[in-house]
Every structure is written in structure tokens, then in C-alpha cells.
Amino acid sequence: MSPLGWPRSRRLLASARFTACYEQGRKFYTRHFVLFVLPRADAGEGFRLGLTVSRKVGRAVRRNRIRRVLREFFRLHQAEIDRPLDIVVVPKRSLDPKAVDLALVEQEFPPVLSRVLREAPAAAPHERL
């Protein structure tokens, strides 16, 4: 597999994992996004990404565009996140879907990701779901 691919093991798919991130995870804020980060006990493949873009953000075309841009940012920067984390990204309602592009995400996420990596432990004693 290419080092820049996005395998299924890097996706957060289970509803229980999303709920665990929301309830037990730590929140990190940017101007337009909220990140819920929960360390995992299993080292596995590194971090897993979940995206939650509600209908309040816009219609399907705009929601899908936001998802594509966010996924592309994390795909390009996946080598920098070396910890077993579950990350759920939620856009705020104030986000203008037309303004979302890779440049905006590249501007907002690196500072918060460096903070996440600084504050998140290498492994967590949480149970598997």
C-alpha cells in the first residue's frame, strides 16, 4: 500500500467509538472546528479519524466537500501523528462551507495537532470497544 493511502484501519467506523470520543475524549478547539481526541490502549495502526458533519452545515454537496478536505489534510499529515488516537472532527456551525479549502485547514490544524501530540499520552489504559 502507498504511504499516502488511507486504509480502512485508519477510519473510525463504530458508533460506540464515536460516542466514547465524545464522552471520554478531550476537546480541542480551532476557529472553525472541534476535535475530540481519545487515546487508545492498542497501538494498532496509529490514529483513526472520524468525521461528523451535520446537516446544519449545509446540503450534501457542501458536507461532502468539507469531509474530502479534512480527509485530505489528515492523509497528507498522517506520518506526523504517530500515537494510537481516535480523533473525531466536528465543524462548528459558524463555518462557511464555501470557504473550506485545504489552505484554511492547513492554517488551523497544525497548531492544535502539535498540542494534541504534546498532551496525549503514548498509550492509554482505556478499554477496547
Span 121-126, mean pLDDT?
54
CA angle at residue 59 from 25 to 51, to 5 degrees?
Answer: 20
Please state the pTM of the whole predicted model.
0.86
Helix axes 60-76 and 102-119, enclosed angle (nearest 10): 50
Q: How many helices (H) and strands (E) does the chain have?
A: 3, 4
Predicted confidence band at 1 (pLDDT cuts at 50, 70, 90)? very low
Span 35-49, mean pLDDT?
86
Q: Please give the residue that has the higher pLDDT: either 91 or 122.
A: 91
For the chain, the domain total comes to 1
Q: For residue 3, is it within any domain?
A: no
Can you give the CATH number for the domain in which 88 is found? Answer: 3.30.230.10
Q: For residue 126, is it within any domain?
A: no
Q: What is the mean pLDDT of the chain?
A: 87
